[in-house]
Amino acid sequence: MNFEYFLAKRLIKGEAHKISISAPIIKIAIAAIALGVVMMLIAIATGVGLKYKIREKVAAFNGHIQISSYDNNASDVSVLPVSLDQDFYPEFNGVDGIAHVQAVASKAGIIRTESTFEGIIAKGVGSDYNWSVFKEYLVDGKLPNYVGELNEEVLMSDLMANRLHLKTGDTFYAFFLKDGDVSKLPNQRKFTITGLYDSGFEEFDGLYLFTDIRHIQRMNKWGDDQVGNFEIFLNNFDDIDEKSREIYGKTLSTLDTQTIIDKYYKIFEWISLFDFNIILIIGIVIIVSGFNMITALLVLILERTQMIGILKALGSTNWSIRKVFLYNASYLIGIGLLWGNAIGLGAIFIQDRFQVLKFPNPKEYYIDYVPVHIDFITVVALNMGVLVLCVIMLLVPSYIITKITPVKAIKFE
């Protein structure tokens, strides 16, 4: 039988400590652990959730990795075409972890109405385009259908439509330069708005208009088998650097690969700060919680000084007595973890389901509500980390037990 565990359990179940001087201090320590766990869970869930949401939105407009001609410039406009006849299209079988490959082309233009005009980038997409990522952002109408014959359907952002005073079902004219030569009459296209989207990403919403890729091909005098670039979607975003190198090695020497991290490095540098903030919050909370438990442990030792003296007189070692109090403290930490997880995960579930918390200025975070994301492994790792670190912090103050002599301890009141 584990003597230390048995004695600690008797102390925990005993009624004397519930009315003793240590009772309120123990409750405060448990509350501090619970509150700390709640803060850590919320910090992780909101930080990771916001990071994932921003990543998803950037990827929705660009894919995770882009394959284009080396001779293209650094702009978002397609300059030189790439042939569809590639080993990696339509299925990239040479590299694992590729979810989808789609061909696109982009062209700069201007939309002009009776009252105003807007500069745009018309993004031409085809029947292979993955619209599933845009279903969440659709606020009115329907997604365009580019399967079959060439049509005039376009998907416009709600922001752009408001600027142009247009709505779903309206038609408009867009003008595109011919090969970048301003001396030639521009290409004119008539489009019909079938749907409006709102991603919350003003940098993209104010610029991108989705249309049939065949319009871009005809205006650029490309063949049906020529596109601007390919967009690659991965199963796991965390593999983006490794997969980019693999993809680069599997493509022709005339083609280049670029990740969205390289293309939008400022955005990803900003969201990388979320990880530092999360680690900082967790570190501070664990230190505060640990010191609260140290205080509680010292009070418990002080209150049980006579018991410590009797145990020493009966032959118990210092380490054996220390283990009794460490078991006791671990139980109190466990109670705090239990309450903290219940409250924290409950709050995260409510926010994920009902989106109660909103950002006062959505433009700064590219989303109007506070997104949350947490997984089982993270929760388990956090709880184990808090428990282990707090117990380690308690090893030092428990050393005070070795300084207690049996004679003085038994007489202690």
pLDDT-derived band at 73, boundaries 50, 70, 90: low
User: Alpha helix locations (H) across 94-239?
Assistant: 132-135, 158-164, 202-205, 213-219
pLDDT attached to residue 19: 47
Q: Is residue 309 part of a domain?
A: yes
Question: Are 359 and 273 within one domain?
Answer: yes
pLDDT attached to residue 211: 97
Q: Which 3 state secondary structure label does DSSP give 185?
A: coil
Percent share of the chain, pLDDT over 70: 93
Q: Phi/psi at 108 (nearest 5 deg)?
A: -80, 145
pLDDT attached to residue 229: 94
Question: Are 85 and 232 within one domain?
Answer: yes
pLDDT attached to residue 20: 58
pLDDT-derived band at 15, boundaries 50, 70, 90: low
Paired tokens of 377: 């492994």
Q: Is residue 66 part of a domain?
A: no
For residues 316-329, average pLDDT: 87
Q: How far apart are CA 47 and CA 363, in angstroms?
A: 17
Question: Are 274 and 187 within one domain?
Answer: no
Q: Is residue 258 part of a domain?
A: no
pLDDT attached to residue 75: 66
Q: Is residue 241 part of a domain?
A: yes
Question: Are 292 and 246 within one domain?
Answer: no
Expressed as residue numbers, the domain containing 398 is 3-57+268-411
User: Alpha helix locations (H) across 139-264?
Assistant: 158-164, 202-205, 213-219, 240-250, 260-263
- Residue 169, pLDDT > 50, answer yes
Of 222, 253, 284, which residue is a domain's last? 253
Of 253, 277, 300, which residue is a domain's last? 253
Question: Are 228 and 100 within one domain?
Answer: yes
For residues 279-305, average pLDDT: 86
Question: Are 80 and 154 within one domain?
Answer: yes
- Residue 399, pLDDT > 60, answer yes
Average pLDDT, the chain: 88
pTM of the model: 0.85
Tell me the pLDDT tens digit for each residue of 231-275.
Answer: 999 999 999 999 999 999 999 888 999 999 999 999 999 988 888
Question: Are 118 and 145 within one domain?
Answer: yes
Range with the lowest mean pLDDT among 49-53, 109-113, 281-285, 395-399?
395-399
Q: Which of 128, 139, 73, 148 is nearest to 106 (CA)?
A: 73
Sign of the alpha-carbon torsion through 94, 98, 99, 102: negative
Q: Is residue 262 part of a domain?
A: no
- Decide which of 24 and 184 is more confident: 24
Question: Are 49 and 171 within one domain?
Answer: no
Q: Is residue 215 part of a domain?
A: yes
pLDDT attached to residue 58: 93
Of 193, 224, 253, which residue is a domain's last? 253
pLDDT attached to residue 263: 92
For residues 84-89, average pLDDT: 93
Q: Is residue 105 part of a domain?
A: yes
The one-letter code for the residue type at 282 is I
pLDDT attached to residue 412: 54
Q: How far apart are CA 400 and CA 404, in angstroms?
A: 7
For residues 167-183, average pLDDT: 83
Tell me the pLDDT tens digit for each residue of 192-237.
Answer: 999 999 998 988 999 999 999 999 999 999 999 999 999 999 999 9
- Residue 154, pLDDT > 70, answer yes
Q: Residue 292 has what DSSP assignment?
A: H
pLDDT-derived band at 186, boundaries 50, 70, 90: confident
Q: Is residue 225 part of a domain?
A: yes
pLDDT-derived band at 312, boundaries 50, 70, 90: confident
Question: Are 92 and 189 within one domain?
Answer: yes
- Residue 191, pLDDT > 70, answer yes
Question: Are 128 and 201 within one domain?
Answer: yes
- Residue 374, pLDDT > 80, answer yes
pLDDT attached to residue 207: 94
pLDDT attached to residue 306: 82
pLDDT attached to residue 1: 55
Enumerate residues 6+ apart whose C-beta is below 8 A from 180: none
For residues 93-101, average pLDDT: 93
pLDDT-derived band at 72, boundaries 50, 70, 90: low
Question: Are 29 and 78 within one domain?
Answer: no
- Residue 13, pLDDT > 90, answer no
pLDDT-derived band at 138, boundaries 50, 70, 90: very high
Instruction: Please spell the DSSP secondary structure of 89-128, one letter per residue.
Output: SS--TTSTTEEEEEEEEEEEEEEE-SS-EEEEEEEEE-TT
pLDDT-derived band at 409, boundaries 50, 70, 90: low
Q: Which of 198, 262, 220, 232 is nearest to 122 (CA)?
A: 220
Enumerate residues 6+ apart whose C-beta is below 8 A from 315: none
Q: Where does residue 82 rank: exposed (0-12), middle (13-18), buried (19+ CB within 10 A)?
A: buried
User: Alpha helix locations (H) across 144-264?
Assistant: 158-164, 202-205, 213-219, 240-250, 260-263
Question: Are 198 and 340 within one domain?
Answer: no
- Residue 129, pLDDT > 50, answer yes
Q: How far apart are CA 277 and CA 42, in angstroms?
A: 12
Domain count, the chain: 2
